[in-house]
Amino acid sequence: MTTLKQGDKAPNFSGLDQDGNVHTLADYAGKKLVVFFYPKASTPGCTAEACDLRDNFARFEANNYALLGVSADAAAKQTKFKEKYELPFPLLADEDRSVIEAFGVWGPKKFMGKEYDGIHRTTFVINEEGVIDEVIEKVKTKEHAAQILK
């Protein structure tokens, strides 16, 4: 599904967060950036993943990481999700899927015997120079921070 791999240059994305602020790859130059894609705000797995990252946010900051969540949810839904769980990082409301498709995480999925297109839960760890250091496709929602901060 994901065509980007370790060592690739990260896509030069541009997307709006829950408050309408623009985020681009260039904004994070000099920092390690964790871009995590999740299917739907406020669902059990996505909530567990976001809360695990929130609970470890100080560790990320101490290690020069910035975090950016991305889903195709509308800005209002992202705002509600961010406020309800007090998430300290921005959430891109990628309704046109431009960021999702730039990273190659949109495609066929199976759930309860049904096939449909959707976002594959995938995380990209991008280094200070904009190169992908790691692609995590088997995200453990309750232990995701530990997968990144090994």
- Phi and psi, residue 22, nearest 5°: -85, 135
What's the fold here for domain 14-148?
A: Glutaredoxin (3.40.30)
Position 14 pLDDT exceeds 70: yes
Task: Dump pLDDT digits (tens) for 122-138.
Answer: 999 999 999 999 999 99
Residue ranges of the domains in the chain?
A: 14-148
Q: Collapsing DSSP states into helix, strand and coil, what is residue 74?
A: coil
pTM of the model: 0.95
Question: For residues 40 and 8, what is the distance between their CA atoms, to the nearest angstrom?
Answer: 27
Task: Dump pLDDT digits (tens) for 32-48.
Answer: 999 999 999 999 999 99
pLDDT above 70 covers a percentage of the chain that reads 99
User: Confidence class of residue 2 from pLDDT cuts 50, 70 and 90?
Assistant: low
Amino acid sitting at position 146: A
pLDDT at 1: 61
In this structure, what token pair is assigned to residue 89? 């990082």
Average pLDDT over residues 78-99: 98
Check: CB of residue 85 under 8 Å from CB of residue 48.
no
Position 52 pLDDT exceeds 70: yes
Residue found under tokens 């297109």: 117
Show which residues are catalytic. 46
